[in-house]
Amino acid sequence: MRRRHRLTEEEKVAMKIATLVCDLRTDLEQVGVYYAQLAPLVAYNRLQVIAESAKAQKENVYDGTNQYTLF
């Protein structure tokens, strides 16, 4: 019997954020306006940390080392 990987709380939150953001019917700019109006500054700053961490991770993954080369 194979054991399933148990998701951490961080993975669960990341999946929820990804699901919400991937809905193409949602106007993300309008969400940003409402978020700025409704969320406290701490929540805004923590969202910035998430975005910066995701950007750094994507840049590390796609830094060109995994690209096929002709020679």
Q: Give the tens place of pLDDT for each residue, 32-63.
A: 999 999 999 999 999 999 999 999 999 888 76
Residue 15 forms part of a structural domain: no
- In-domain check, residue 47: yes
- Range(s) of the domain holding residue 36: 27-63
pLDDT of residue 50: 97
Predicted local distance difference test score (pLDDT) of residue 67: 60
Reading the block at residue 65, the tokens are 């080392």
Q: Is 46 among the domain residues?
A: yes
Half-sphere exposure of 8 (CA within 13 A, CB side): 3
Q: In 1-71, where do the E strands start and end? A: none
Q: Which of 59, 51, 56 is nearest to 21 (CA)?
A: 51
Quick check: is 5 in a domain?
A: no
Distance (Å, whole) CA 32 – CA 29: 5
Overall domain count for the chain: 1
Say how many CA atoms lie within 13 Å of 14 toward its Cβ: 10
